[in-house]
Amino acid sequence: MLMPFIARYGDLYTNENVAISGTHTHAGPGGYLQYLLYSVTTLGFVQQSFDAIVNAIEQSIVRAHQNLKPGTIFMNKGDVENAGINRSPSAYQQNPEEERGRYDSDVDKEMTLLKFVDGGSGRSIGAFSWHATHGTSMSKNNKLISGDNKGAAARSFEDWFTSNAKANSTIAYSSKTPDIGKLIAKAQAIKSTGGQPCDRTTSQSFKVRKNSDSLFVGAFCQSNVGDVTPNVLGAFCSDTGQPCDFNRSSCHGDETLCLGRGPGYPDEILSTKIIGERQFSKAVDLFTSAKEILSGKIDYRQVYLNFTDIEVELGGNQVVTTCPAALGPGFAAGTTDGPGVFGFQQGDTEINKLWKQMRDVLKEPSPYQVECQKPKPVLLSTGEMDFPYAWAPAVLPIQILRLGQLVILSVPGEFTTMAGRRLREAVKETLVSDGRGGFNSNTHVVIAGLTNTYSQYIATFEEYGHLRYEASSTLYGPHTLSAYIQEFRKLSSAMAKGEIIGSDLSPPDLSPKQLKLVLDPLGESPLPHGINFGDLKQDVSQPRNGSFTKGDTVSATFFSGNPRNVLFTEGTFAVVEKLLQEGRRWVPVYDDDDLCLYFKWSLDYNFTTFSNLATIEWEVPEEASSGVYRLRHFGSAKKYQNATLEYFTGSSSAFTVA
């Protein structure tokens, strides 16, 4: 991953001091992880998804390096209210009563925020925060790409900062009440442009929020999120509306009927906005009031470990081991955020005969594995499955980063609430008790979840025995958390003492073995006679009263190409443009990164041909000002698989918003 930087920057950026952390969403493209289990639903590895992510990470590091300058980092902490609840409270209650009594809630509400300030100008340039809530406001029924509630929070934060910073330099519109009749007449006089050729840079220049204009980066990172759901209204049976079974999260024995409800229920996009808004609001509060300056040493430690056979020393001279990766039946049951396969429930202690037979066709677990994973029944022994290549990881990285009094624990999975608390406490106790390294009671420890790779869940020993989804997805057996705590203690001790720690292990490179069953775009089918790419199939339907109002949905459909031809990673497929009052220039005001604008791609089948269609939908937001608008689409197409790409654009007829 970091090889290009070794060539470019020498040993400045390495696996040891760079952490790559995911925010978590069920609404993103898949196929970029190398282990087979995580690419089954995408028909194998998808090179395009992988390249898009890697290139974006690379460009982020390059641009950050190019903008390095002296500065100050402030830290602040505070609770985010009603952004997450525990989706497995019955498992949480298995933890010791005395331990649970030390906390006010069965989820961690605290957000830790860093505020970055340019040392020369004194201008704030970014903020980075950690808070534990799943990125599952969007359900598995959603087919649109979304950064979920973390992405919504980030966009809101960056827009908030930019609007404040540019308050005196934005385009000034007349404060007079517009003449709606004149606006309607002007809109009716402006027709659609039809499909027109354009170059690739055009779509990038029309991005509302250009990289070159970005004044601020607001990042919302994940923490010990394992059992925390943003569906804060609770889980209910879809057939009766009654609460689901407390222990099993099912309805009359059917887990597929048990669904979590977000605060905007039944509108999951509204739920996404609300949970994002709650995180954003707390981040702004912490950002504007941050006073504690991070100072002191910058340090890091990282090591690769084979988690399938770690010997763990427990109290009383007891030694246990971790296991090869395996999943239990609770994994197949899914969660209230996304129910799984009918016939499984969270908490299942047995696997029926039919599923065992199907399991054994893939791989019958070894007697050692069955015994090691107890009390979890083994549904899939992924750690023993290596055909056509490894199904699950064995070698994992763990990492500690230090910024003065802040210590960041990079973990390759999803710790439950109590598992995260135990890890944080163990690391802090180790650092402080050593008496070296400048660590003290003011040291603050955060968990950066889903970092550097992915290995599913980490539940406590007590939660593991309850066999809900999180426990059934704890790969390396009942002592997985104890292994993490033991090995992080070793890293912490080495950091406190100033010692170097390392290993000869490294994860395998499975790229030569990857299954790649998703085909590249084959080229577009011939369009109907007289139709060009970018032409309208369905124009905006003008409202009866002549104007749209806030809350209305405006839509248009274009003849288009496959969006996988070119991803427009730093550009856009769709914008809403507004006509300036002098009537001479269109300016983009919303793009497909905004939660109010939707870009939808579909295939329109005919008897002998098919056409790619792009539909743009705009939900007119509350902050939209009155005026003349239009929808504009950017795309690319090729007439056959190896043909030269053609870039095009098209626009709807103008319409008014009053």
Would the pLDDT of 204 be above 90? no
- 87 in Cβ contact with 459 (< 8 Å): no
To which H or E segment does residue 272 belong? Answer: helix 268-289
CA distance 51 to 40: 19
* Model pLDDT, residue 655: 95
Q: What is the average per-residue pLDDT within 350-356?
A: 93
Residue 479 annotated as lining a ligand binding site: no
CA-nearest of 462, 469, 5, 419 to 225 is: 419
* Least confidently predicted of 161-165, 221-225, 512-516: 161-165
The per-residue pLDDT of the chain, averaged, comes to: 92
Q: Strands 196-197 and 646-651: what pairing?
A: antiparallel
To which H or E segment does residue 407 belong? Answer: strand 406-410
Q: What is the average per-residue pLDDT within 397-409?
A: 98
Distances (CA, A) of 45 to 157, 568, 628: 34, 21, 45
Where does the pLDDT of residue 203 fall: very low under 50, low under 70, confident under 90, or very high at 90 and above? confident
Q: What is the average per-residue pLDDT within 26-47?
A: 94
Query: Residue type at 47?
Result: Q
Q: Strands 553-560 and 610-619: what pairing?
A: antiparallel
CA distance 573 to 647: 11
Would the pLDDT of 132 be above 60? yes
Where does the pLDDT of residue 536 fall: very low under 50, low under 70, confident under 90, or very high at 90 and above? very high
CA-nearest of 507, 414, 401, 513 to 454 is: 414
* Model pLDDT, residue 185: 74
Where does the pLDDT of residue 174 fall: very low under 50, low under 70, confident under 90, or very high at 90 and above? very low
Residue 173 annotated as lining a ligand binding site: no
Angle between helices 148-165 and 268-289 (to 10 degrees): 50
Give the CA diameter of the chain.
85
Backbone torsions φ then ψ of 196, nearest 5 degrees: -135, 145
CA distance 67 to 283: 24
Would the pLDDT of 175 be above 50? no
Where does the pLDDT of residue 170 fall: very low under 50, low under 70, confident under 90, or very high at 90 and above? very low
Where does the pLDDT of residue 171 fall: very low under 50, low under 70, confident under 90, or very high at 90 and above? very low
Q: Strands 646-651 and 627-637: what pairing?
A: antiparallel
- 595 in Cβ contact with 608 (< 8 Å): no
In the numeric block, the tokens 């690391």 are attached to: 427
- 540 in Cβ contact with 632 (< 8 Å): no
CA distance 292 to 165: 23
* Model pLDDT, residue 215: 78
* Least confidently predicted of 23-37, 159-173, 226-240, 479-493: 159-173
* Model pLDDT, residue 316: 80
CA-nearest of 92, 97, 134 to 466 is: 92
Q: What is the average per-residue pLDDT within 376-396?
A: 97
Residue partners of 608: CB distance under 8 A and separation at least 6: none
How many helices (H) and strands (E) are present in the chain, helices listed first?
A: 15, 29
- 195 in Cβ contact with 642 (< 8 Å): no
Distances (CA, A) of 61 to 2, 9, 20, 127, 158: 10, 11, 11, 16, 19
Distances (CA, A) of 617 to 265, 531, 591: 21, 22, 11
Q: Strands 414-415 and 457-458: what pairing?
A: parallel
Q: What is the average per-residue pLDDT within 490-498?
A: 96
Where does the pLDDT of residue 169 fall: very low under 50, low under 70, confident under 90, or very high at 90 and above? very low
List pLDDT tens digits, range 317-343: 899 999 999 999 999 999 999 999 888
- 578 in Cβ contact with 627 (< 8 Å): yes
List pLDDT tens digits, range 275-305: 999 999 999 999 999 999 999 999 999 999 9
Residue 48 CB coordination number (10 Å): 15
- 60 in Cβ contact with 211 (< 8 Å): no
CA distance 172 to 94: 60
In the numeric block, the tokens 């654009």 are attached to: 649
Burial category of 606 from C-beta neighbours within 10 Å (exposed 0-12, middle 13-18, buried 19 and up): exposed
* Model pLDDT, residue 212: 61
* SS3 call for 524: coil
CA distance 404 to 439: 9
- How many residues in the chain? 658
Conformational region of residue 249, where left means phi above 0, alpha means psi within -120 to 50, and beta covers everything else: left
* Model pLDDT, residue 395: 98
Distances (CA, A) of 148 to 139, 272, 589: 10, 6, 22
- 222 in Cβ contact with 21 (< 8 Å): yes
List pLDDT tens digits, range 543-567: 888 899 999 999 999 999 999 999 9
CA distance 510 to 394: 13
Would the pLDDT of 168 be above 50? no
CA-nearest of 234, 83, 80 to 149 is: 83
Long-range contacts of 292-296 (CB under 8 A, 24+ apart): 292/74, 292/75, 292/76, 293/72, 293/73, 293/74, 293/75, 294/73, 294/74, 294/75, 294/114, 294/403, 294/404, 294/405, 294/406, 295/404, 295/405, 296/404, 296/405, 296/438
* Model pLDDT, residue 164: 82
CA distance 274 to 233: 12
Cis previous bond, 266, omega within 30: yes
- 245 in Cβ contact with 276 (< 8 Å): no
pTM: 0.94
Q: What is the average per-residue pLDDT within 530-539?
A: 94
* Model pLDDT, residue 437: 87
| Percent with pLDDT over 90 in the chain | 80
Residue 414 annotated as lining a ligand binding site: yes
Please give the angle made by the CA atoms of 213, 219 and 220, to the nearest 5 degrees.
Answer: 150
* Model pLDDT, residue 319: 95
User: Exposure pattern of 103-121 as b/e (b: 16+ CB <10 Å)?
Assistant: eeebbbbbbbbbbbbeeee
Would the pLDDT of 230 be above 90? yes
Where does the pLDDT of residue 5 fall: very low under 50, low under 70, confident under 90, or very high at 90 and above? low
